[in-house]
């Protein structure tokens, strides 16, 4: 009989060991690729000062934050809360340690963040984000934007997902475009309409734009703009058609897009397209923005995204730290990939061998054999429980690929046979 409710709190991911092994492998894959790209790992505390976390807050952040307090009084009585992303702690870290860091600072954080969102299926309150950022001091060349995109894409490639598409835009193109249309004062509202255009009929977007007080020509130009996508040459031509003599307004943004596009092509980074529907919300991005999606599963939405921010730590310091970063929201992604059956949970068992000594007389031999296999990098469990062999085999089948029974014969012969727990086949070791 249970005495207390032992389910995890709602909104928390809690996996069985075999599921956890798959999750861990995906996390390790991401970490390996980031590491191969030269990103340095850091870990910031999960608990931060509230004034740091909320320095730039607004909107939902403040409502969703988890406040922390101790039951007893303590000397350190600062208001504390759980971090809700990696970017704010990174900004604090860069300011605090800037004299000890080598800029451009290529940094990764793969860890859990916390948001007290309203509970709903597929939304998590505690979730892994796998961030890769490059932070400069004073300036950071646009080439780094391409590097972050290529790295995130290569990390996702290890998942063996169906056709991925990277969609890239640049906030400066949008800003220049709206300036050319003399609509700069409506940037926030128009960005919001473009940001949601993918989920509604085009007539709805057009009506929303008209409702803002735009004339029909402006509405037509913006709807043409937001459906523009393709290679750099294609989108440049399309923009030129729309803007005509006012094309110079988007020159800076286009030059950045061209550089990112050229580098991704030189690097041979797979399937990417320039797509002006990509906005990335009303976030702090100032230049390049990107999202990644599965072409055949558009309804999943973006599985990794990021962009360029001109000033990472403006709330904490007068020093200037431009940066570019991207993130894979692994907890949500793992959940979605399981829903869509896009991930193979039954691939391999977490343990390679379970060794089954029949009596205590075979323990020494079992230990020796296990240590030998461990030295080869294998995961080896030894079942020392006093149960029937059939029960032991039953347990082994749940966690391991092979079982090795050790009786008196094996002790004498020092020859061992591994039984494949799926197929029943045996192999000599």
Q: How far is the CB of 325 from a second copy (least distance, A)?
A: 15
Site for a second copy in 19-48 (CB under 8 A): 20-21, 24, 35-38, 40-48
Stretch of 63-71, 175-183, 291-299, 406-414 lying at the interface with a second copy (CB under 8 A): 63-71
Cα(129)–Cα(408) distance, integer angstroms: 51
Give the end-to-end CA distance of the chain in Å, rounded to a whole number.
45
Q: Is 136 in the site for a second copy (CB under 8 A)?
A: yes
> Please, which residue, 176 or 287, has the CB nearer to a second copy?
287
- Provide the minimum distance between the beta carbon of 315 and a second copy in the complex, in angstroms, as a whole number: 7
- Restricting to residues 274-313, name those near a second copy by CB under 8 A: none
By CB under 8 A, residue 7 contacts a second copy = yes
Structure tokens at 316: 């904490």
CB of 70 to a second copy, least distance (A): 4
Q: Is 408 left (phi over 0), alpha (psi -120 to 50) or beta?
A: alpha
CB atoms within 10 A of CB 140: 22
Binders in 387-406 for a second copy, by CB under 8 A = 394-395, 398-400
Work out which of 316, 335, 340, 393 binds a second copy, going by CB under 8 A. Answer: 316
CB of 351 to a second copy, least distance (A): 5
Asked if 161 and 196 touch (Cβ cutoff 8 Å), the reply is no
* Residue 339 near a second copy by CB under 8 A: no
Contact with a second copy (CB under 8 A): which of 135, 380, 405, 418?
380
Burial class (CB in 10 A: 0-12, 13-18, 19+), 220: middle
Give the x-and-dash track for 256-275 against a second copy (CB under 8 A): -------x--xxx-------
Q: Where are the beta strands (DSSP E) in 115-195?
A: 126-135, 164-170
CB of 227 to a second copy, least distance (A): 32
Residue of 234, 296, 348, 364 interacting with a second copy (CB under 8 A) = 364
Cβ pair 240, 257 in contact under 8 A? no
Indicate the angle between helix axes 17-36 and 389-399, nearest 10 degrees. 40
H or E element: which one contains 271?
Answer: none
Tell me how crowded residue 236 is: count the other CB atoms within 10 A of its CB: 18
Q: Are strands 272-275 and 164-170 parallel, antiparallel or unpaired?
A: parallel
The CB-of-231 to a second copy minimum distance in angstroms stands at: 18
- Closest distance of CB 40 from a second copy, Å: 4
Looking at beta carbons only, is 276 or 334 nearer to a second copy? Answer: 334
Stretch that binds a second copy, among 214-222, 346-354, 403-411, 414-422 (CB under 8 A): 346-354
E strand spans, 222-280: 229-230, 272-275
Taking the least distance from each CB to a second copy, the nearer of 65 and 152 is 65
Of the candidates 92, 280, 308, 419, which one interacts with a second copy according to CB under 8 A? 92
Paired tokens of 164: 């991925």
Axis crossing angle, helix 143-157 with helix 17-36, rounded to the nearest 10:
150
Stretch that binds a second copy, among 51-59, 174-182, 218-226, 402-410 (CB under 8 A): 51-59
My answer on whether omega of the bond before 6 falls inside 30° of 0, hence cis, is no
Q: Does 149 bind a second copy (CB under 8 A)?
A: no
Q: Are 168 and 272 in contact (CB under 8 A)?
A: yes
């Amino acid at each position: 009989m249970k005495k207390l409710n032992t389910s995890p709190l709602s909104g928390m991911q809690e996996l069985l060991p075999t599921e956890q092994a798959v999750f861990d492998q995906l996390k390790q894959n991401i970490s390996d690729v980031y590491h191969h790209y030269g990103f340095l790992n850091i870990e910031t505390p999960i608990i931060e000062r509230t004034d740091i976390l909320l320095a730039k807050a607004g909107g939902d952040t403040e409502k969703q934050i988890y406040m922390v307090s101790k039951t007893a009084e303590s000397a350190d009585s600062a208001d504390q809360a759980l971090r809700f992303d990696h970017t704010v702690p990174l900004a604090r870290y860069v300011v605090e340690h800037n004299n000890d860091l080598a800029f451009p600072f290529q940094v990764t954080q793969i860890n859990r963040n916390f948001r007290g969102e309203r509970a709903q299926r597929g939304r998590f309150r505690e979730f892994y984000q796998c961030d890769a950022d490059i932070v400069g001091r004073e300036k950071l060349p646009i080439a780094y934007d391409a590097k972050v995109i290529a790295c995130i894409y290569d990390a996702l490639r290890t998942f063996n997902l169906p056709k991925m598409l990277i969609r890239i835009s640049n906030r400066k193109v949008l800003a220049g475009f709206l300036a050319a249309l003399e609509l700069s004062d409506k940037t926030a509202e128009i960005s919001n309409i473009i940001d949601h255009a993918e989920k509604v009929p085009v007539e709805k977007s057009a009506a929303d734009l008209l409702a803002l007080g735009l004339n029909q020509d402006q509405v037509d130009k913006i709807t043409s703009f937001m459906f523009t996508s393709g290679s750099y040459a294609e989108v440049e031509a399309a923009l030129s058609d729309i803007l005509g003599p006012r094309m110079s307004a988007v020159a800076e943004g286009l030059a950045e897009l061209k550089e990112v596009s050229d580098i991704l092509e030189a690097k041979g980074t797979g399937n990417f397209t320039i797509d002006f529907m990509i906005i990335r919300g009303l976030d702090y991005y100032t230049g390049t923005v990107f999202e990644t999606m599965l072409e055949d599963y558009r309804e999943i939405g973006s599985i990794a995204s990021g962009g360029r921010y001109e000033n990472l730590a403006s709330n904490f310091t007068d020093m200037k730290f431009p940066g570019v970063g991207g993130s894979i929201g692994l907890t949500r992604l793992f959940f979605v990939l399981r829903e869509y059956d896009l991930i193979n949970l039954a691939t391999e068992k977490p343990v390679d061998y379970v060794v089954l000594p029949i009596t205590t007389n075979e323990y020494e031999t079992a230990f020796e054999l296990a240590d030998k296999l461990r030295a080869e990098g294998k995961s080896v469990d030894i079942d020392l429980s006093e149960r029937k062999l059939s029960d032991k085999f039953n347990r082994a089948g749940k966690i391991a690929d092979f079982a090795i029974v050790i009786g008196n014969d094996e002790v004498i012969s020092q020859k061992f046979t591994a039984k494949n727990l799926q197929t029943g086949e045996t192999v000599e070791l």
